[in-house]
């Protein structure tokens, strides 16, 4: 057990949810930090609920997050024989016994003990059968399960998150290792598999903390060294209840479909309940690996904040190279072209739009939504409040046409600097503030009251597009008046 090996053991009975993804991330980070291995185990023993499509989705989601694993995944359903051998070993050592009670009779004994206020932890009367009698009854075909024999001593271990944990024997049932149908239970399967895989550390959710004393007892009974355990508090919603669909999407693939970047989801989940010891909120995979330590995991539940995730997504978008963002957005652009929403001939504007808007969006697809004016002329003034505030001067149509004339004169010298110089020069000539021209020009070329640098936007759009849109707004204002009649604010 000298080699560091950590595992993630998903059950393919559903999609990879946020809590499971965070557990996988923590295990991955510690494995890489300690120079060890990160391996997978597919816990597919639930044949009715396990589905290949769920398994594919889980593996694809992990690849998307950048959680590469070592070795081929171990499939738990193929190791039942080893699980049964482990149970046989426990029987031979006297650490387990055969219980011939029916499930109904066992439940009656438990209920009766609780009514009498006696020992709550279940002990079957059959634990006192001689090994010979139990073996003879089993060989005769009498139905039975195999239970672990809880020793009369406390289980004490050091949890990586919660510190010293002590569990008394009177709180632990003689739990089942092998069901009456000869199928191994989770408790023995996970111990046998972790031992066979050489797992040195186990990071998992607090919902497993009740299993740990039982599993440690199995390790001790077999003289196997148990791994180091760390139990992470569960993720809660904003109402401080366990995270569920009512709080928003919980599957990793849903966030991918919504336009979240893998880097953002990875960084957010890693920092959800763990701290690198400083105020960093944006971290790359390399930075996370370098900083990760179990001691940084909080011992109280973390609150999932989707707005914080959106903010983080925006930060990662702003830092991402433009060409990589273009590759992400291009398929959506093509879809809009096919739907007739955007023209195909302006696709060359996509890199420019991304460069100018990537610091102003929280999702990649917002480049196409907020920056549609890079690809086609605006059909109206979208920002009605800005229109009422910025388009109220009666002589504004003439000013826009004057500025359009000046821009037309620039021809091949039309760039951000020359556009700014021409605008400021005209404002000085007209003896007005530059804002009297800047804001109407922005509304003319984009239909919006805010956006990227106006003059960089003008250069990107080109002189023909800019002057055509400015003259359109001048004519629009002559027809609608100043400020233009755009209907009620409720229609906006």
Which active-site residues does the annotation give? 245
DSSP annotation string for 99-163: E---HHHHHHHHHHHHHTT---S---GGGGS-HHHHHHHHHTT---EEEE---SS-EEEEETTTE
Give the C-alpha separation, 25 to 204, whole Å: 11
Residues 6+ apart with CB under 8 A from 21: 61, 62, 65, 252, 265, 269
Give the C-alpha separation, 397 to 482, whole Å: 9
Give the C-alpha separation, 230 to 227, whole Å: 10
Half-sphere exposure of 210 (CA within 13 A, CB side): 6
Residue 270: how many CB atoms within 10 A of its CB? 24
DSSP letter, residue 371: T
Please name which of 83, 433, 23 lies closest in space to residue 235, comparing C-alpha atoms. Answer: 23
Q: How far is CA 288 from CA 52, 274, 312, in A?
A: 31, 11, 15
Burial 423-435 (b: 16+ CB within 10 A, else e): beebbeeeeeeee
Give the C-alpha separation, 453 to 83, whole Å: 66
For residue 483, whether the previous peptide bond is cis, meaning omega lies within 30 degrees of 0, is yes
Give the C-alpha separation, 108 to 105, whole Å: 5
């Amino acid at each position: 057990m000298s080699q560091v090996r950590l595992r993630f053991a998903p059950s393919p009975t559903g999609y990879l949810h946020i809590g499971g993804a965070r557990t996988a991330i923590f295990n991955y980070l510690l494995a890489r930090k300690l120079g060890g291995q990160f391996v997978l185990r597919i816990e597919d023993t639930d044949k009715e609920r396990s589905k290949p499509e769920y398994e594919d989705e889980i593996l694809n989601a992990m690849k998307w997050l950048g959680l590469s694993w070592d070795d081929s995944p171990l499939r738990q359903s193929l190791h039942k024989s080893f699980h049964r051998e482990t149970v046989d070993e426990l029987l031979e050592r006297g650490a387990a016994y055969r219980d011939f009670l029916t499930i109904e009779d066992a439940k009656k004994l438990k209920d009766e003990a609780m009514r009498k206020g006696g020992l709550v932890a279940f002990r079957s009367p059959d634990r006192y059968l001689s090994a010979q009698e139990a073996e003879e009854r089993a060989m005769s075909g009498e139905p039975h399960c195999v239970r672990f024999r809880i020793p009369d001593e406390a289980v004490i271990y050091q949890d990586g998150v919660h510190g010293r944990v002590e569990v008394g024997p009177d709180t632990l049932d003689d739990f089942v290792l092998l069901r009456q149908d000869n199928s191994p239970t989770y408790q023995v399967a996970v111990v046998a598999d972790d031992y066979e895989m050489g797992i040195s550390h186990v990071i998992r959710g607090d919902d497993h903390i009740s299993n740990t004393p039982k599993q440690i007892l199995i390790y001790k009974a077999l003289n196997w060294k148990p791994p180091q355990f760390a139990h992470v508090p569960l993720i809660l919603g904003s109402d401080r209840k366990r995270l569920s669909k009512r709080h928003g999407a919980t599957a990793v693939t849903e966030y991918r479909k919504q336009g979240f970047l893998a880097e953002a989801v990875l960084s957010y989940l890693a920092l959800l309940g763990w701290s690198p010891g400083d105020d960093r909120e944006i971290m790359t995979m390399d930075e996370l690996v370098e900083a990760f330590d179990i001691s940084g995991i909080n011992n109280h539940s973390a609150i999932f904040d989707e707005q914080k995730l959106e903010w983080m997504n925006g930060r990662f978008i702003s830092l991402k190279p433009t060409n990589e963002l273009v590759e992400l957005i291009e398929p959506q652009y093509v879809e809009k072209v096919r739907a007739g929403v955007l023209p195909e001939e302006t696709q060359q504007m996509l890199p420019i739009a991304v460069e100018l808007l990537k610091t102003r969006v929280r999702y990649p697809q917002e480049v196409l939504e907020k920056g549609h004016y890079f690809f086609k002329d605006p059909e109206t003034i979208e920002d009605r409040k800005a229109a009422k505030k910025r388009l109220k001067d009666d002589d504004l149509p003439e000013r826009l046409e004057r500025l359009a004339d000046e821009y037309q004169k620039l021809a091949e010298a039309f760039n951000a600097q020359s556009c700014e110089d021409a605008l400021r020069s005209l404002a000085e000539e007209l003896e007005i503030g530059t804002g009297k021209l800047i804001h109407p020009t922005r509304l003319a070329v984009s239909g919006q009251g805010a956006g990227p640098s106006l003059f960089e936007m003008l250069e990107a759009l080109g002189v023909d597009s800019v002057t055509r849109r400015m003259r359109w707004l001048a004519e629009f204002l002559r027809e609608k008046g100043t400020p233009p009649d755009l209907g009620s604010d409720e229609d906006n």
